[in-house]
Amino acid sequence: MPNHLIEETQHLFSGERNLSVTERSLSVVGGLALAAVAARPRPNKVLSLIALVAGVALAIRGATGHCPAKAAMTGGSMSGGAVSGPDA
């Protein structure tokens, strides 16, 4: 079961890069900041967990350069000012 979850996660964030360098940078910084804030002990554990998962997802989005939601909205194209190539 864990291997299936890993494969599904890899499939979700694999694909053509569709984020610009700026979008990637902001996603990584914002995601790590959100995860760090969520990791502090709080009375509402569920809210902390949701924030932690969202922060990690943002950081992964920035690290991989692929956003499944953006790909779905734009039809998978490199629109919206995204830069292609090795520096994207």
Domain ranges of the chain: 18-73
pLDDT (mean) for 65-88: 66
Least Cα distance to 34 among 15, 49, 51 occurs for 51
Tens digit of pLDDT for each residue in 7-43?
666 666 667 888 999 999 999 999 999 999 998 988 9
CA–CA dist 81, 88 (Å, integer): 11
Task: Please state, in angstroms and as integers, the Cα–Cα distance from residue 39 to each residue in 32, 49, 59, following that order.
Answer: 10, 8, 15
pLDDT (mean) for 52-76: 89
pTM, whole model, 2 decimals? 0.68
Query: What are the φ and ψ backbone dihedral angles of 75, each rounded to 5 degrees?
Result: 75, 20
Does position 83 have pLDDT exceeding 80, yes or no? Answer: no
Q: How many helices (H) and strands (E) would you count in the chain?
A: 4, 0
10 vs 73: which has the higher pLDDT: 73
